[in-house]
């Protein structure tokens, strides 16, 4: 999706109305007015009025048919950090849902890339914000995509860092979330700044490969539509797409830099109403054109790890030209393009992380492992920071992040020192657990406390993993001892 040129609030409202006819457009307009006033007088490095930035990010999301609540929050996303207007003001004017989203993105902060530790700390914040509400990441991606679009106005060093971060951190996360469109944007916009020479080279290769082929592909698309129609298969859409540059670059690396080994530089997509239509279309294509051996992929019965579903086939098309086809339903298509964001499309509106999707926490930990593995060759990095974090939930759905191996007692102390001191038992995923049970990603943990409990047990020090728990236990035991000592002393004193 291209960024909108000369974005306006009017245009934004029109876009939203098209896919979300029941949306409360007043809220969007109010959010815009509120942000425009708060940013009054501020300019971007490009010289444009600041409001163009949140407005552009909002347009990008509207183009992806994202839930209008997220769009309202995106309009407001830089207000608390950059103006005198506070989160409380936003809460008062827009309520807690929008304020919560703005708080989430504000917590992430601006990119402050000073030293590795700082950087890792930022990452940690990002994972927590994500675990709390995935919608914050959707806002962050739109924010970043607009920033990447205007990167030329920043000094080269800064450009490089922002692009590198987008390429190495944000794009893989978008990929994991199955948000193909945003992943592709993040990659291609960053590619030219991170690897400028390779970018030029790959672009030249693609342009050469596709030069003068337009009418040929038009013909194939026409013939495909025709044949499907004759066979009684309805199509929602048949269209061509050329491979994104960064994705082509990576494929070229895997294919010995030989463009003739890349079959999907240009591919034809067939969108049909039902799964049965997908298989029917595949059959029709194969009677029309001979498929290449080993190139038929059924990602419908066996989806990719990120949930991607489609049928792929590569055929010898007219004149022996090799063409890839990708066949899917509209639902599969939306999922592939917008991923997690598709779940927040207006008609399927859901608020917080739904309980049944708590497996998301496991997914999150995988993303984090991938990224930390990538970064682990940085020498200066502190082992502590590298410790894998797990994300567990309170019964209310709040996220607590802990190091791997942390126990129920660690969890209790992270809730509150009193909860730790008074804990006597624990329910893990609605089952009784032991206090020294190791917690796993996505566990829902409920601590049982007894207000008559004197305090922590010395034994707990044998199994707790976090610094917080250790220090609290030690200091409480010291206090207990002190008070025991003072009682003893009192007892020993002669009565008056
Ligand atoms: Mn921003």
Structural domains of the chain ordered from first start: 9-194 (1.10.3210.10), 203-348 (3.30.460.10), 388-492 (3.10.20.30)
DSSP state of 110: S
Residue 353, pLDDT > 50, answer no
CA of 59 to the centre of ligand 1 (A): 13
Q: How confident is the model at residue 379 (pLDDT cuts 50, 70, 90)?
A: very low
Q: Where are the alpha helices (DSSP H) in 169-260?
A: 171-176, 180-194, 196-210, 214-230, 245-254
Question: Considering only 149-153, 258-262, 273-277, 444-448, which range has the smallest mean pLDDT?
Answer: 258-262
Q: Is residue 22 classed as helix, strand or coil in its secondary structure?
A: coil
Residue 196, pLDDT > 70, answer yes
Which tokens in the block code for residue 216? 């040929």
Residue 252, pLDDT > 70, answer yes
- pLDDT value for 442: 81
Stated length of the chain: 496
Q: Is residue 5 classed as helix, strand or coil in its secondary structure?
A: coil
CA of 8 to the centre of ligand 1 (A): 17
- 434 φψ region: left (φ > 0), alpha (ψ -120 to 50), beta (else): beta
CA of 340 to the centre of ligand 1 (A): 21
d(CA 406, CA 385) in angstroms, rounded, equals: 15
* Contact (Cβ atoms closer than 8 angstroms) between residue 135 and residue 344: yes
CA of 26 to the centre of ligand 1 (A): 22
**In the annotation, is 214 catalytic?**
no
* Contact (Cβ atoms closer than 8 angstroms) between residue 93 and residue 29: no
DSSP state of 49: B
Residue 263, pLDDT > 90, answer no
Catalytic residue among 63, 78, 82, 379: 82
pLDDT in tens, 80-111: 998 999 999 999 999 999 999 999 888 876 65
134-149 and 156-165 helices, crossing angle to 10° = 150
Q: Is residue 65 classed as helix, strand or coil in its secondary structure?
A: coil
Q: Are strands 266-272 and 322-329 parallel, antiparallel or unpaired?
A: parallel
- pLDDT value for 433: 94
CA of 484 to the centre of ligand 1 (A): 56
Neighbours of ion ligand 1 (CB under 5 A): 78, 143
Q: How confident is the model at residue 483 (pLDDT cuts 50, 70, 90)?
A: low
- pLDDT value for 477: 84
pLDDT in tens, 213-226: 889 999 999 999 99
- pLDDT value for 355: 41
Residue 406, pLDDT > 50, answer yes
DSSP state of 493: S
DSSP state of 339: G
Residue 163, pLDDT > 80, answer yes
Which tokens in the block code for residue 247? 């994705």
- pLDDT value for 116: 59
- pLDDT value for 72: 97
CA of 143 to the centre of ligand 1 (A): 5
CA of 329 to the centre of ligand 1 (A): 35
Q: How confident is the model at residue 366 (pLDDT cuts 50, 70, 90)?
A: confident
CA of 82 to the centre of ligand 1 (A): 9
pLDDT in tens, 19-63: 888 889 999 999 999 999 999 999 998 899 999 999 999 999 999
Residue 246, pLDDT > 70, answer yes
DSSP state of 43: B
**In the annotation, is 81 catalytic?**
yes
Q: How confident is the model at residue 382 (pLDDT cuts 50, 70, 90)?
A: very low
Q: Between 70 and 116, name the one with better pLDDT.
A: 70
Catalytic residue among 37, 67, 78, 81: 81
Please compute the mean of the pLDDT values over residues 171-187 and round it to a whole number: 87
Which tokens in the block code for residue 409? 């007692």
Best-predicted range by mean pLDDT (54-68, 147-161, 464-478): 54-68
CA of 367 to the centre of ligand 1 (A): 24
Hey, how many other C-beta atoms are within 10 angstroms of the C-beta on 334? 18
Q: Between 1 and 347, name the one with better pLDDT.
A: 1
- pLDDT value for 245: 95
d(CA 303, CA 297) in angstroms, rounded, equals: 10
CA of 294 to the centre of ligand 1 (A): 46
Bridge partner residues of 237 (DSSP) = 271
Residue 468, pLDDT > 90, answer no
% of the chain at pLDDT higher than 90: 50
d(CA 205, CA 199) in angstroms, rounded, equals: 10
Please compute the mean of the pLDDT values over residues 174-178 and round it to a whole number: 80
Q: How confident is the model at residue 376 (pLDDT cuts 50, 70, 90)?
A: low
pLDDT in tens, 333-351: 988 887 766 665 544 444 4
- pLDDT value for 157: 78
- pLDDT value for 380: 39
Q: What is the 3-state secondary structure (H, E, C) of 344-382?
A: HEHHHCCCCCCHHHCHHHHHHHHHHHHHHHHHCCCCCCC
For the chain, give the mean pLDDT. 85
* Contact (Cβ atoms closer than 8 angstroms) between residue 428 and residue 403: no
Please state the φ and ψ torsions of residue 40, each to the nearest 5 degrees: -45, 130
CA of 133 to the centre of ligand 1 (A): 18
DSSP state of 390: E
Please compute the mean of the pLDDT values over residues 450-467 and round it to a whole number: 90
CA of 101 to the centre of ligand 1 (A): 13
DSSP state of 457: -
* Contact (Cβ atoms closer than 8 angstroms) between residue 300 and residue 272: no
d(CA 126, CA 438) in angstroms, rounded, equals: 24
Degrees to nearest 5, angle at CA 250 with 248 and 253: 110
Q: Between 222 and 387, name the one with better pLDDT.
A: 222
Residue 283, pLDDT > 90, answer yes
d(CA 167, CA 187) in angstroms, rounded, equals: 5
Residue with tokens 């996360």: 173
Please compute the mean of the pLDDT values over residues 180-205 and round it to a whole number: 93
d(CA 139, CA 157) in angstroms, rounded, equals: 25
d(CA 413, CA 470) in angstroms, rounded, equals: 9
Question: Considering only 170-179, 207-216, 315-324, which range has the smallest mean pLDDT?
Answer: 170-179
Q: Which residues contact 225 (CB under 8 A, 6 or more apart)?
A: 235, 238
- pLDDT value for 54: 98
196-210 and 180-194 helices, crossing angle to 10° = 120
Q: How confident is the model at residue 356 (pLDDT cuts 50, 70, 90)?
A: very low
Q: Is residue 7 classed as helix, strand or coil in its secondary structure?
A: coil
CA of 147 to the centre of ligand 1 (A): 7
Q: What is the 3-state secondary structure (H, E, C) of 248-298?
A: HHHHHHHCCCCHHHCCCCEEEEEEECCHHHHHHHHHHHHHHCEECCCCCEE
């Amino acid at each position: 999706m291209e960024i909108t040129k000369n974005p306006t609030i009017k245009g934004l409202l029109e876009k939203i109305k098209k896919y979300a006819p029941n949306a409360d457009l007043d809220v969007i307009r109010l959010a815009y007015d509120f942000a425009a006033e708060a940013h009054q007088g501020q300019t971007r490095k490009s010289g444009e009025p600041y409001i163009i930035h949140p407005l552009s990010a909002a347009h990008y999301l509207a183009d992806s048919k994202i839930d209008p609540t997220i769009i309202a929050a995106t309009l407001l996303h830089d207000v608390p950090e950059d103006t005198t207007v506070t989160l409380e003001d936003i809460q008062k004017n827009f309520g807690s849902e929008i304020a919560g989203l703005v708080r989430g993105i504000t917590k992430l902060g601006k990119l402050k890339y000073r030293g590795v530790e700082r950087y890792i700390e930022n990452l940690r914040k990002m994972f927590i914000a994500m675990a709390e509400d995935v919608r914050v990441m959707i806002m962050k991606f739109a924010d970043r995509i607009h920033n990447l679009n205007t990167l030329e106005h920043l000094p080269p060093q800064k450009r490089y860092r922002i692009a590198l971060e987008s390429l190495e951190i944000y794009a893989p996360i978008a990929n994991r979330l199955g948000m193909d469109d945003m992943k592709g944007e993040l990659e291609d916009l960053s590619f030219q700044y991170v690897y400028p020479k390779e970018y030029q080279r790959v672009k030249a290769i693609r342009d050469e490969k596709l030069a003068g082929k337009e009418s040929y592909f038009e013909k194939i698309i026409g013939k495909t539509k025709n044949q499907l129609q004759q066979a009684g298969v309805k199509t929602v859409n048949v269209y061509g797409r050329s491979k994104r540059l960064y994705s082509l670059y990576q494929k070229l690396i895997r294919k010995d830099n030989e463009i003739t080994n890349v079959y999907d530089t240009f591919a034809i997509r067939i969108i049909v109403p039902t799964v049965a239509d997908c298989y029917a279309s595949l059959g029709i294509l194969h009677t029309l054109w001979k498929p290449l051996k080993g190139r038929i992929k059924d990602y419908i019965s066996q989806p990719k790890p990120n949930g991607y579903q489609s049928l792929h086939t590569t055929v010898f098309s007219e004149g022996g030209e090799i063409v890839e086809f990708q066949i899917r339903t509209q639902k599969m298509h939306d999922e592939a393009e917008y991923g997690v964001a598709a779940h927040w499309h207006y008609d399927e509106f859901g608020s917080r992380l739904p309980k049944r999707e708590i497996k998301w926490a496991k997914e999150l930990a995988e993303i984090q492992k991938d990224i930390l593995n990538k970064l682990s060759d940085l020498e200066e990095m502190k082992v502590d920071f590298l410790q894998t974090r797990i994300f567990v939930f309170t019964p209310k759905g709040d996220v607590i992040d802990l190091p791997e191996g942390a126990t129920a007692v660690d969890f209790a102390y992270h809730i509150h020192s009193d909860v730790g001191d008074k804990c006597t038992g624990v329910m893990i995923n609605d089952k009784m657990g032991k206090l020294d049970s190791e917690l796993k990603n996505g566990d829902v943990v409920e601590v049982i406390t007894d207000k008559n409990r004197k305090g922590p047990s010395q034994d707990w020090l044998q199994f707790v993993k976090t610094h917080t728990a250790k220090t609290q236990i030690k200091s409480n035991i010291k206090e207990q001892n002190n008070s025991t000592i003072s009682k003893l002393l009192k007892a020993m004193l002669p009565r008056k």
